[in-house]
Amino acid sequence: MFDIIQRDALLQQMRDELTRVGVKELRTPEEVDNALQNAKGSTVVFVNSVCGCAAGKARPGFILSLQNDVVPDNLFTVFAGQDKEATQRARAYFTDAPPSSPSIAFFKDGKFLGIMHRYQIEARSAEMIANDLKNIYNKYFKKEVEQTIKPS
């Protein structure tokens, strides 16, 4: 059985996996508001999770997606189940999208474009997720493009 120190170390590894590639962690509602209300250009919010599909698919796929010519201008993450208030506030920006973790939300100049839900992550490989994300970046995050993302 994990004790508190082991649990906290494991959770920190899950956080670090994203922050070490330049994703800014948002841990309070105020940090979420400040980040999302002031973000210019393209923004991705990764809703992190302790589940297996986050560890084996979503986080690795997201990290792989950043090896692309077009990448988001702003990379943020909230941690569902850990930073509950920050996650709830971030989800308030995901217009009409049901809660889902892990998930990846997309914004352009503060406008919510769409979200990749857990059901679009859990049955796919990290490479497939990375390719889907790269396609989204290439199509919607080029400076001259403003459209709404339609989930597959």
CATH of the domain at 49: 3.40.30.10
151 assigned to some structural domain: no
Is residue 145 scored above 90 in pLDDT?
A: no
Q: pLDDT-derived band of residue 43, with 50, 70 and 90 as boundaries?
A: very high
- Catalytic residue set: 51, 53
CA distance 85 to 70: 31
Q: Write out pLDDT tens, residues 89-126.
A: 999 999 999 999 999 999 999 999 999 999 999 999 99
Instruction: Kindly state the DSSP code that residue 119 receives in the 8-state scheme.
Output: G
Q: What is the C-alpha end-to-end distance of the chain, expressed in Å? A: 40
107 assigned to some structural domain: yes
Domain span holding position 10? 4-140
Helix (H) or strand (E) holding 111: strand 111-116
Our count of domains for the chain comes to 1
Angle between helices 84-92 and 29-38 (to 10 degrees): 30
Token representation of residue 9: 């170390």
